[in-house]
A and B are shown apart, each in its own frame.
Chain A
Amino acid sequence: MALLQISEPGMSTNPHEQRLAVGIDLGTTNSLVASVRSGVAETLADDEGRHILPSVVRYIKDTDVVVGEAAKTVAADDPLNTIASVKRLMGRGIGDLKTVAGHVPYEFAGTDSSVPRIRTVVGEVSPIEVSSEILKALKARAEQTLGGELAGVVITVPAYFDDAQRQATKDAARLAGLNVFRLLNEPTAAAVAYGLDQGTEGVIAVFDLGGGTFDVSILRLNKGVFEVLATGGDTALGGDDFDRAIAGWLMEQAGIADDAGHKQMRRLMRDACAAKETLTRQEDADIKLELADGSHWQGQLTREQFNRLIEPFTKKALAACRRALRDAGVSKQDVIDVVMVGGSTRVPNVREQVGEFFGKPPLVDIDPDKVVAIGAAIQADILAGNKPDDEMLLLDVIPLSLGLETMGGLVEKVINRNTTIPVAKAQEFTTYKDGQTAMAIHIVQGERELVDDCRSLARFELRDIPPMVAGQPRIRVTFQIDADGLLNVTAEELTSGVQAGVEVKPSYGLTDNEIETMLKDSMAYAQDDMEQRRLREQQVEADRVIEALDAALAVDGKLLLSEDEYAAIISARDMLIEVRQGNDANAIKQAIKQIEKTSEDYVARRMNRSIQQAMAGHKVEEFE
């Protein structure tokens, strides 16, 4: 479970305690929550037996927020207050709305924040808040079904999501009061759901065509380790495009004007979607439309015509597959399995095209709508520590290159796309003015050479640089990407050893202060609740720290620590046990910090030792 226990694999100090954990597929069109119960991963249903929660949120004046089916059914009647496909807006800026939101009917408020806000009857809401409502609904469903508080969740995101989109997802989870174990790429989750780690070794392609996003991932499986070799895709390609293509065709056929009202557009999209679903079962679909003047239009869409309408999209998807294969350095022939994910892979033409491209029939046994949530649940169960013997490990890559703006608006790549994460790269900078104490770094994501063609990620301002002659300071800036694909920047002036302060201004995200404010404003967190919650969190953390420390000390405390070091750690431990009995969350937090500080070297020594032991073990094996 923890670093301090690594030399005793499989050892659990509390074997009977099952921690509740769920996997959440936070989709553009639909969302699901799944959990492993009695060894089986399954999606959880609501009171009425429905597993799928439409990702639709409706804001109603003076009452609660409505999420899911109830919101979806009235979407056409209350389009401005009913938010669908909010995932498309996650991590996006005001400037993106023209392209991203071309077809969404909401009204956006002018704002000085970098995050767009949708105007509703209850006021302005950000996409992050809308998403958090969906997560809250799933959390409530899970806690009711499982009968307890969730220890943590795994939330899936498209592999192609950039840093801003991932951060926005994590922020939404924080607003919903969820502890995120990991953001997991959707295709990886799908491969896990198929249990492809059991036995098979080789290259797997995951073709994930959802409502709003398309992802293709090339994975390599080897002895229980999933390695994402490459990912590709398009954050604006999916079944919604099929619906729109049909809707466009219908408008043409029925003579509906381009400036049709919100309500009519909604209805048209619904009819288009229904026709698409009919065409997965039948060769043609009969369509009847009610026009604005009350008259009706009737017609037929054949599967052949439909295939032609979606051809630009299937072509785009296959081109992304080709590129992902090349990025991965493998050929089509190397692919042993193709996993199909997302409701849009029910379209027969999509299955045919994919089968033809890879030269083998794709896997379609698990419900393509549920497969991602199921995989996420399996991973959540492992991360919660419920399966200490499980060796499965998911190694992920960064989907887009990370670069710095240099002179003349050019990009200097710091970390290339498809590099395995976590990863850290350090770069040295210097000042160009005498006595300069601050400097700005602009970070972008993307593959192009010009800053303007890439996506701005954040501006970091380095402060507290000791004043020196121009060119003399050596400022080492470390770009650290964690296992969720999120960037963290630290900076140090090497000649003086001074740690520079780093202030982040996300280009398309909320600052920490904005999130804090939202948390405080949130009705779910009355003041008392907040404090109770904080205390409980700190107590749980304290128990975890003590438990792990005791287990570690029993194994090698005497071996790796001097007497003085050992005594110092014990005294910090006793202090924590004492304050743990009280009601002061801050005091517990401080005591935990103190233990961490005191035992930092010890923890590092243990990790080094376990690495050396592992490699030494190898040597023995190779000679045997």
Chain B
Amino acid sequence: MVIDASRNYFELFDFSESFDIDASVLADKYRELQSLTHPDRYANASDQERRLAVQAASYINEAFQILKQPQSRARYLLSLKGVVFNDETDTAADTEFLMEQIELREALEEAAQKDDPLARLDELASEISGRSDALIQAFREQFINDDTVAAKETVLKMRFLQRLHHEIDRLAEQFEDELL
């Protein structure tokens, strides 16, 4: 790896390790780094340099993706603090939250039977966005208070909502296909 791997994504972009980062500053820095490392800048360079450029640009792309989304940024911040995530066994424990998830899943299944399923899916999507925002707010406080246990639980909840969102997109695409 060409880029110094001992520096984490925050250091790469010269940010402090905090949850709140300015999205437009991040985007500007990202573009600047890409214009330094993108393989197009090395169209005439040696094979070796081109290879290194591909690796460096890939690393910067990955870092940008992780930092851009609050969900992945939250998870990454926790992992820097030594919190370990195990995708196969970790799950949210909050029963009230899990009940809500079941209800949302049911609402999703029922959307197909509505007169205008796409409109219903839009409604559900905005409801989920609202809940995501609340989780982001919660994480912000938990992280500032160094409550990594609660923060991890919040990240796991975020993952639930993200999956629901993907499911909504997938269903919407199906309905669109049927309309054709």
Contacts and interface: CB of A to CB of B under 8 A. Distances in A.
Interface in B17-60: 25, 27-29, 31-49, 52-59
Interface residues of B, number: 47
Nearest to B45: A2
A483 interface: yes
Nearest to A385: B44
A424 B59 contact: yes
A236 B27 CA distance: 36
Contacts of A421: 61
B173 interface: yes
B118 to A, nearest CB: 10
Nearest to A319: B180
B31 to A, nearest CB: 5
Given A548-B46, A614-B32, A614-B33, A3 B53 contact: yes
A483 B38 contact: yes
Contacts of A71: none
Interface stretch (A76-84, A199-207, A350-358, A604-612): A604-612
Query: In terms of DSSP, what is the predominant structure of the interface of chain B?
Result: helix
A6 interface: yes
Of the candidates B35, B47, B61, the one having the most CB atoms from chain A within 10 angstroms of its own CB is: B35
B65 interface: yes
Interface stretch (A90-98, A244-252, A283-291, A615-623): A615-623
A424 B169 CA distance: 25
Contacts, number: 141
Contacts of A384: 43-44
Interface stretch (A57-65, A297-305, A391-399, A505-513): A391-399
Of the candidates A4, A222, A393, A607, the one having the most CB atoms from chain B within 10 angstroms of its own CB is: A607
Contacts of B28: 223, 618
Contact of A614 (B36, B53, B176): B36
B98 interface: no
Interface in A364-393: 382-385, 391, 393
B129 to A, nearest CB: 12
Interface in B74-132: none
B2 interface: yes
Given A393-B31, A604-B52, A611-B3, A2 B61 contact: no
B39 A6 contact: no
A482 B48 contact: no
A422 interface: yes
A315 interface: yes
Contacts of A481: 58
Contact of A545 (B37, B46, B57, B180): B46
B12 interface: yes
B41 to A, nearest CB: 7
B38 A607 contact: no
B180 A393 contact: no
Given A2-B44, A4-B49, A607-B3, A619 B176 contact: no
A216 interface: no
A451 to B, nearest CB: 18
Contact of A480 (B3, B25, B58): B58
A152 B55 CA distance: 23
A382 B44 CA distance: 11
B53 A480 contact: no
A322 B176 contact: yes
Nearest to B15: A615
B147 interface: no
B48 to A, nearest CB: 4
Interface string B121-161: 00000000000000000000000000000000000000000
B52 A6 contact: no
Contacts of A223: 28, 31
A615 B3 contact: no
A326 interface: yes
Contacts of B41: 3, 6, 393
Nearest to A604: B2
B35 A607 contact: no
A323 B34 contact: no
Nearest to B43: A383
B52 A607 contact: yes
B134 to A, nearest CB: 21
Nearest to B64: A420
Of the candidates A326, A395, A480, A600, the one having the most CB atoms from chain B within 10 angstroms of its own CB is: A395
A225 interface: yes
A346 interface: no
A182 interface: yes
A336 interface: no
Given A480-B58, A482-B54, A622 B49 contact: no
B167 interface: no
B45 A395 contact: no
Contacts of A480: 54-55, 58
B33 A611 contact: yes
A391 B176 contact: no
Contacts of A541: 46
A464 interface: no
Contacts of A391: 35
A441 interface: no
Contacts of A575: none
Interface string A316-328: 1001001100100
Interface of A: 1-4, 6, 19, 151-152, 181-182, 222-223, 225, 315-316, 319, 322-323, 326, 382-385, 391, 393-395, 419-424, 480-483, 541, 544-545, 548, 592, 596, 600, 603-604, 607-608, 610-611, 614-616, 618-619, 622
Interface of B: 2-4, 12-14, 25, 27-29, 31-49, 52-59, 61-62, 64-65, 169, 172-173, 176, 179-180
Given A1-B45, A603-B52, 8 more contacts: A2-B46, A322-B176, A422-B58, A480-B58, A481-B58, A596-B48, A607-B37, A615-B29
Q: Which 5 A-B pairs have the closest CB atoms?
A: A2-B45, A615-B14, A383-B43, A596-B48, A424-B58
22 contacts: A3-B42, A3-B53, A4-B45, A222-B31, A223-B31, A319-B179, A382-B40, A395-B34, A420-B64, A421-B61, A423-B61, A481-B58, A544-B45, A607-B52, A607-B56, A611-B12, A611-B56, A615-B29, A615-B33, A616-B14, A618-B32, A619-B14
